Structure 1
Amino acid sequence: MARLAHHVFFTLKDRSPVAVESLAKACEKYLDGHDGVVDFSVGTRDPELTRPVNMDYDVSLHVIFKDRPSHDAYQTVEAHLQFIAENKDSWEKVTVCDSNLR
């Protein structure tokens, strides 16, 4: 089975450094360490990278799962659902990019 990459880009309603850091910490608290995760990282947009191809977002989440069933199970675990419930009101836009890795 192919590994699956789950990339999520969050644009916040409040784009202040405090709000950005709060969401990044929530990602670390709730979304890391789940069964089947082989790599996890969360980052914030570098304001000095202003090329037109860069997306407009504040926080990026990158989770690599060992396979599709691991990804699917993650979608319904309590910690993931709690993360969404506690943070969704702060999101202006969310872009999810899932891909099978080669």
Structure 2
Amino acid sequence: MMKQPFSALLAILLLSSSCAALRQPKPIQGDFAHIVLFWMEGQTELGKAAFRQDMEAFIRSSAYAKRMYIGTPAGTDRPVVDNSYDFCLIVTFDNQAGHDSYQKEPAHLAFIEKTKGMWSRIQIFDAVR
């Protein structure tokens, strides 16, 4: 008789611990992160939409980019948060060599040439694991 409640309790504990493991944050793939913030003073919403499409197209065509994320300021209201930029691009690479190759990649160079008149300021942060 004692065996059934114990087995049921054990099953509940195992199930709840495996569910908790599923909720854990997953690490970003790649050991090198390239974070780029763009300010687009004077650009129309249509211009910003075109810029975003160009950015998405060139990143998807990259032979070196592992993962990418394109976002806009979340508007969080905290003194330590800078919401002044228009776009944030995060690209990860397997390593610095992948990043360095990406910097010379024709799609990346073409994107810079095509859009350099659209943004008024750019800030880049690179990080390694």
Normalised to the residue count of structure 1, the TM-score between the two structures is 0.85
Would the aligned equivalents of 1:13 and 1:91 in 2 still touch at CA under 8 Å?
A: yes
Larger helix proportion of the pair: 2
Q: After TM superposition, where is structure 1 displaced by more than 4 Å over at least 4 residues in a row? A: none
Among candidates 34, 38, 62, match of residue 34 of structure 1: 62
Q: Gapped runs of 5+ residues in structure 2?
A: 1-29
Secondary structure at 1:50 match in 2: coil
Q: Which of the pair has the greater relative contact order for Cα pairs under 8 Å at 6+ separation?
A: 1
Q: How many residues align?
A: 99
Farther-moved stretch of structure 1 (28-37 vs 71-80):
28-37
How big is the alpha-carbon RMSD for the aligned residues of Structure 1 and Structure 2?
A: 1.7
Q: Which residues of 2 match residues 39-58 of structure 1 at below 5 A?
A: 39-46=67-74, 48-55=75-82, 56-58=84-86
Q: Which residues of 2 match residues 59-70 of structure 1 at below 5 A?
A: 59-70=87-98
Aligned-partner Cα distance in 2 for 1:51–1:16: 27
Aligned-partner Cα distance in 1 for 2:45–2:79: 22
Q: Gapped runs of 5+ residues in structure 1?
A: none
Higher Cα radius of gyration: 2
Secondary structure at 1:90 match in 2: coil
